[in-house]
Structure 1
Amino acid sequence: MPDRVVITGTGLFTPPFSISNEELVASLTVAVEEWNAERAAQIAEGTVAARPV
């Protein structure tokens, strides 16, 4: 007789330190803008591609 696998659980665990999707998108946007600003000269020269926002 094959073994049966049973997955059980209740509720949704939310860790105490979580962020919303909007906060995640905002922080990644800031990081990309800063990365592009720090490399503006190389981006203008064409040696580095700008990261899309």
Structure 2
Amino acid sequence: EQPNKEICTIRIIFPVNSDEQALEAKKKISEVLADVPDAQVHFAIMPQIDQPRR
């Protein structure tokens, strides 16, 4: 088997109403990637930054 020469990154940003909702989404994403041996999930909960209105 040849070594991987590329990686795939996906950035997903969405609002949540609670930490529990965010953790449930992370759990579902991790389950989908469970069969990818070197997959990494970087997880963070941050305050939402309001976008300026145009």
> Which structure carries more relative contact order (alpha carbon 8 Å, separation 6+)?
2
- TM-score range with shorter-chain normalisation? 0.3 to 0.5
TM-score, with structure 1 as normaliser: 0.43
TM-score, with structure 2 as normaliser: 0.42
Which protein is richer in helix relative to its size? Answer: 1
Larger Rg: 1
